[in-house]
Amino acid sequence: MRRFRGILLLLCAATLLWSCGDIKNVNNIKLSSCGVKYITPTSLRSMTGVLLLEIDNPSFNFTVSDVEGCVKFSDRKMLLFTAGEVPVQRHSIQVYELPCTVTLADKVSYLDIMAIAAKSSYEGLTADVDLRVTLKSGVGTTLHYKDIDLSQISQ
């Protein structure tokens, strides 16, 4: 009986390790680039659009959802955004489309945004982003990123 329990424990441990084989690659998941496919004004203070995200995922399938954040220019909040969800395929480098809604921050006008957009670079633009990453099993976590330099990842 003791031998049977030992073999059962060994099989359970092997199954667990086999199912988590891609877990070592989690730290290698990266956002290679991002861009804007299109953006359409919907009111005097808001817009809808689609972001293009190139994600290098050497790991397992997951879903990105509940995306919220803000874009800042020289530490001044310019845009607030929320986005839908996107399923990310395992073992892939792929461009994903993420629908989003953007609202102008308080005391910011379209003219302010157009002046920044007219520049040829994203120098001085940073973003704070909160998002939820969920595995196929339903297990997930919320990630928080602060002061992401958009000039480093924009295309």
| Rg of the chain, C-alpha, whole Å | 20
7 within a domain of the structure (yes/no): no
71 within a domain of the structure (yes/no): yes
Domain that holds residue 139: 25-153
Q: Give 108-135 pLDDT, tens digit per residue.
A: 998 888 888 888 777 888 989 998 888 8
78 within a domain of the structure (yes/no): yes
Q: Give 15-63 pLDDT, tens digit per residue.
A: 443 444 444 555 678 888 888 899 899 998 999 999 888 889 888 899 9
9 within a domain of the structure (yes/no): no
Please state the domain count of the chain: 1
Q: What is the CATH number of the domain that holds 77?
A: 2.60.40
51 within a domain of the structure (yes/no): yes
4 within a domain of the structure (yes/no): no
18 within a domain of the structure (yes/no): no
Indicate the helix (H) or strand (E) that contains 14.
helix 2-19
CB of 71 within 8 A of CB of 79? yes
